[in-house]
A and B are shown apart, each in its own frame.
Chain A
């Protein structure tokens, strides 16, 4: 009997082998990040004479302050600000318009509802990469190149969030809306007083997903921000590599890479439960 259970739940040597396997996996996952961190704490000469050290050096403050204040094309602090603004704009903007339209779809009957529903359904299919050239032209015609609106608006134009909120609103008991009506609440009052507070966890979970999505955008900012002061950090890193045969300033580039990871990692790890819930539910 002991041996039987032993086959299902490993004990003793088997348990340690399991841990060992996982530790190797984690090490493989973390090695690139660790190496980037080490590179961001040593000097350029230590890197260009391989092999570079595998333990952190003493140039941490020099490299990070150089990156944050001067950078190579633009100070990284500025790029961090741009990224933050873009990620927040995408997350908040998309959640706001999606909440409103999901509310309208679920709680009202209005002409064109079916059509609207199918139109937004279509948007689920096409990532921005597919319609990139004409979208660029639209932004250029609006004079939105090198602007936050230009960075944010096209990435809001999809209905994934609308679908999620619609699904959630459908599970809210009908009686709550009825009780609110009997209590004298109009539609908007019901929306703000009851539906929004009840959606808190869903909103938070979606916020995590959308923040990461916005923060990690690459192609779109690359196309529409030609002015270095509008660069986001994720796309700005590539701009730091010199053209031709010059040697890249690796410590500053790696410090920038680490800085680019920190906000999304904090969001993902700090809000892990919500994040996993949001991820699994948004794909259902």
Chain B
């Protein structure tokens, strides 16, 4: 699509796009290119020169037990975060949608966690489940359960999943509520008159009509779990215990900055780049379909 009228001039528009070109070139394209370039080298032990290894870094990574484990961890983590946060959000959105009055008040209260940074969310949940002072830990102890996410891998995973999902509920809630409110009342009333009870109505009418929203949220939440949960993991578990919560993004950070293994970290970046591109393509495909809908 093009505007019918355009202003004349060549230098003015170039001047207008210049700031964006400069900033994206320096802080986006150059680093992204560097990541790809560096992934083809390994530094010598003294860090003085780089040695060309071609796809060696990738071969090494894919055969590395820890890296493959991190892949599995990321998959489990993303699926759990997505399912938990979308499930809770959908439940709350269905309830709020049933209200004629007062759903605005609940909405105002439920959007709070969106404003809470993942790292801060991590601190809040860490505090509740802290092995020494945590309130929840203490009450669990009363019930005879000895909570210790510092040592127990499953509990560590559970905690970072809940803390990450918690911060995401607002976002999913808003989209689900908007999706539900977009379903025409008359359709639901027609089904009610046909004698369909709540659960039948939900299964046969609401859920299919909501599926575009659900699919969209699925993709967006997976991207969120992949990249934006770094703060949660860094504050709560630092990837432990025994790398049980080291997701891919965390590993890029710990290998690159803590371990100083630039070649491997760059190769990991490139792999992430491929994954996120695939997810984005899926997302755009979906948006395109929705436009033609």
Contact = CB atoms under 8 A, between A and B. Distances in A.
In the complex they form, whether A and B have CB atoms below 8 Å apart is answered with yes
A4 B193 contact: yes
Nearest to A109: B6
B66 interface: no
A267 B115 contact: yes
A237 B105 CA distance: 31
B117 to A, nearest CB: 4
Contacts of A269: 108, 111-112, 115
B234 A238 contact: yes
Contacts of B223: 127
Contact of A137 (B34, B124, B273): B34
Interface in B151-195: 166, 169, 171, 174-175, 178, 185, 188-189, 192-193
Contacts of A2: none
Given A126-B273, A218-B119, A261-B115, A110 B10 contact: yes
Given A7-B192, A21-B95, A25-B110, A138 B30 contact: yes
B45 interface: no
Interface string A232-243: 001101100000
Interface in B268-292: 269, 272-273, 276-277, 280, 287
Contacts of A275: 111
Contact of B133 (A15, A52, A112): A52
Nearest to A110: B13
A250 B128 CA distance: 11
Contacts of B83: none
A9 B99 CA distance: 8
Contacts of B112: 29-30, 33, 265, 268-269
Given A129-B252, A238-B235, A257-B124, A216 B13 contact: no
B198 A7 contact: yes
A98 B24 CA distance: 12
Contacts of A51: 135, 138-139
A250 B133 contact: yes
Contact of B132 (A29, A48, A100): A48
Contacts of B144: none
A98 to B, nearest CB: 7
Interface string A133-169: 1111110000000000000011011110010000000
B54 interface: no
B67 interface: no
Nearest to A263: B115
Interface of B: 1, 3-7, 9-10, 12-14, 16-17, 19-21, 23-24, 26-35, 38, 88, 91-92, 95-96, 98-100, 102, 106-121, 123-125, 127-128, 132-135, 137-139, 166, 169, 171, 174-175, 178, 185, 188-189, 192-193, 197-198, 216, 220, 223, 227-228, 230-231, 234-235, 249, 252-253, 256-257, 262, 265-266, 269, 272-273, 276-277, 280, 287
A13 interface: no
B26 to A, nearest CB: 7
B166 A29 contact: yes
30 contacts: A4-B193, A29-B109, A29-B110, A30-B109, A32-B128, A52-B135, A97-B20, A100-B16, A107-B6, A108-B13, A124-B280, A126-B277, A127-B223, A130-B252, A134-B35, A136-B257, A153-B26, A154-B27, A157-B23, A216-B231, A218-B117, A218-B119, A219-B253, A234-B120, A234-B231, A237-B235, A238-B235, A257-B123, A269-B112, A283-B216
B106 A26 contact: yes
Contacts of A64: none
Contacts of B38: 133-134
A260 interface: yes
Contact of B20 (A30, A108, A159, A280): A159
Nearest to A217: B117
Contact of A107 (B3, B21, B252): B3
B263 to A, nearest CB: 10
A283 B220 contact: yes
